[in-house]
């Protein structure tokens, strides 16, 4: 346990004897069985892959550990990325652990508070770009090309290599690939990586089947579904507010080879799934992560029954990344009371048996 992705899956990764053994404990995330949604949707086996349990609370750590270890091996002193927040948090953490400088370019005003705090805490240089993610990626790519800086976005193939290990873990736990995998799609690195992982395990005889890859974009940021870039992508799920995904081709390959689909979900559907995950499953995830769950709900409600199927939803990041969103959506905002038993009992009323009416019991 806790040995990290490089060590655990060394034989599937582009490592050499000179690759440093970097890890801050990424991987081996829980695959948790649904307690509520499975029954509601009539699915026999529904699991959530909790990628928010990685060291920086998103799936990005799996790819970042490989990209940063390779950057060290190649002698880079600085790593750089564009990000909607999670990639920057992860790059900053692994950059710190590796003793490298980290520069992150983020769309000003559109990154969740927790993610920015992480990048700053890990000591990265954070540049708020007056533009969106697609602008930031364009600038980062050009800068990295012109200087001896290692770009650690998912256009860097080492990122994809590391991220595919999540697919390995799912197969290692279930004994085979699921029938369907539901996953949010932004820059499309993750769906590309999962498909690569499932393919490699299948080709190597570790899995008998291949899943159908079911990717979901937010309605206002759905270039792959539209078949053309979206100039001004919009969605409440800021992590996937991307109009021109770098791994577009990889997503199409995953969709087509797996006989899957890439669809859209509205912000309202995303928020419903976000609330349901926390309130019924006890899983506090990011809005972007809820896009995959929203996609599953939409798919089943459209008449595609999944009885007898094994289904996995990838929960890409932790809800604590964006505490403000949770507070905004609260059904029960925090209440206030004096430090007095009677007063709190009165406030609780019927909510706590034995406290209704505020009677004194000794």
User: Judged by CB under 6 A, which stretch of 202-210, 265-273, 284-292, 326-334 contacts ligand F0G?
Assistant: 284-292
Residue window 125-154: x/- pattern of binding to ligand F0G, with contact defined by CB under 6 A: -----------------------------x
Closest approach of ligand F0G to the CB of residue 317, in Å: 3
Question: What is the Cα–Cα distance from 110 to 115, expressed in whole angstroms?
Answer: 11
Residue window 163-202: x/- pattern of binding to ligand F0G, with contact defined by CB under 6 A: ---------------------xxxxxxx------------
Q: Which of 105, 288, 294, 311 binds ligand F0G (CB under 6 A)?
A: 288
87 forms part of the interface with ligand F0G (CB under 6 A): yes
For 34, which DSSP code? Answer: P
Closest approach of ligand F0G to the CB of residue 205, in Å: 28
# chain residues binding ligand F0G, by CB under 6 A: 22
Nearer Cβ to ligand F0G (6/92): 92
Phi, psi at 313, each rounded to 5°: -110, 130
Burial class (CB in 10 A: 0-12, 13-18, 19+), 141: middle
Rounded to the nearest 10°, the torsion over CA 270, 273, 279, 283 is -90
Residue window 92-131: x/- pattern of binding to ligand F0G, with contact defined by CB under 6 A: ----------------------------------------
Nearer Cβ to ligand F0G (87/102): 87
Nearer Cβ to ligand F0G (85/295): 85
- Interhelix angle 248-257/189-203, rounded to 10 degrees, is 40
Reported as type and span, the H/E element at residue 48 is strand 45-50
Sequential DSSP letters for 87-121? HHHHHHHHHHHHT-EEEEEEETT-S-HHHHHHHHH
User: Judged by CB under 6 A, which stretch of 8-16, 42-50, 85-93, 143-151 contacts ligand F0G?
Assistant: 85-93
In angstroms, the Cα distances linking 61 to 56, 57, 86 are: 7, 8, 9
Alpha-helix runs per DSSP H in the chain: 5-8, 37-41, 60-73, 86-98, 113-121, 133-146, 157-163, 165-174, 189-203, 223-226, 248-257, 267-276, 287-301, 323-328, 341-348
Question: What is the Cα–Cα distance from 119 to 60, expressed in whole angstroms?
Answer: 13
273 forms part of the interface with ligand F0G (CB under 6 A): no
Nearer Cβ to ligand F0G (29/187): 187
Task: Yes or no: say if 176 and 170 are a contact pair by the CB < 8 Å rule.
Answer: no
Q: Which of 55, 85, 223, 233 binds ligand F0G (CB under 6 A)?
A: 85
Closest approach of ligand F0G to the CB of residue 211, in Å: 17
Question: What is the Cα–Cα distance from 355 to 346, expressed in whole angstroms?
Answer: 7
Nearer Cβ to ligand F0G (158/286): 286
84 forms part of the interface with ligand F0G (CB under 6 A): yes
319 forms part of the interface with ligand F0G (CB under 6 A): no
Closest approach of ligand F0G to the CB of residue 194, in Å: 9
Question: What is the Cα–Cα distance from 297 to 292, expressed in whole angstroms?
Answer: 9
Closest of 180, 185, 190 to residue 291, by C-alpha: 185
Q: Which of 34, 58, 235, 258 binds ligand F0G (CB under 6 A)?
A: 58
83 forms part of the interface with ligand F0G (CB under 6 A): yes
Task: List the interface residues with ligand F0G, window 227-266 (CB under 6 A).
Answer: 239-240
End-to-end CA distance of the chain: 48
Q: Give the interface with ligand F0G as residue ranges (CB under 6 A).
A: 58, 60, 83-87, 154, 184-190, 239-240, 286, 288-289, 316-317
């Amino acid at each position: 346990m806790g040995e990290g992705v490089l060590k655990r899956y060394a034989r599937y990764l582009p490592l050499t004897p000179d690759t440093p053994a970097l890890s801050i404990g990424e991987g081996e995330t829980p695959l948790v069985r649904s307690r509520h949604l499975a029954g509601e949707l009539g699915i026999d086996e529904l699991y959530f892959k909790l990628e928010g349990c990685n060291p920086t609370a998103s799936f990005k750590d799996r790819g970042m550990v490989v990209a940063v270890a390779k950057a060290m091996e190649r002698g880079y002193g600085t790593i750089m990325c564009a990000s909607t927040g999670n990639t920057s948090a992860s790059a900053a953490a692994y950059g710190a652990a590796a003793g490298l400088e980290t520069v992150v370019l983020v769309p000003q005003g559109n990154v969740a508070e927790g993610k920015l705090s992480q990048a700053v805490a890990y000591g990265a240089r954070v540049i708020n770009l007056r533009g969106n993610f697609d602008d930031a990626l364009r600038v980062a790519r050009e800068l990295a090309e012109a200087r001896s800086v290692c770009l650690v976005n998912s256009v860097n193939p080492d990122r994809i290599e590391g991220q595919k290990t999540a697919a390995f873990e799912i197969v290692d736990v279930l004994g085979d690939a699921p029938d369907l995998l539901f996953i949010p799609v932004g820059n499309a690195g993750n769906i590309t990586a999962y498909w690569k992982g499932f393919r490699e395990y299948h080709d190597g005889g570790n899995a008998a089947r291949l899943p159908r890859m079911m990717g979901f974009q937010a309605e206002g940021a759905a270039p792959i579904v539209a078949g053309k870039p979206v100039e001004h992508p919009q969605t409440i799920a800021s992590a996937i507010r991307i109009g021109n995904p770098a791994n577009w081709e990889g997503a199409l390959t995953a969709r087509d080879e797996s006989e899957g689909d890439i669809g859209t979900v509205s912000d309202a559907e995303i928020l419903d799934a976000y609330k349901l995950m926390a309130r019924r499953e006890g899983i506090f995830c990011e809005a972007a992560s809820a896009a995959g769950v929203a996609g599953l709900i939409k798919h089943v409600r459209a008449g595609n029954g999944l009885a007898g199927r094994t289904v996995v939803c990838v929960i890409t990041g932790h809800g604590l990344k964006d505490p403000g969103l949770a507070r905004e959506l609260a059904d029960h905002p925090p209440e206030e009371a004096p430090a007095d038993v009677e007063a709190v009992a009165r406030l609780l009323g019927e909510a706590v048996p034995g406290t209704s009416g505020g009677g004194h019991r000794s």
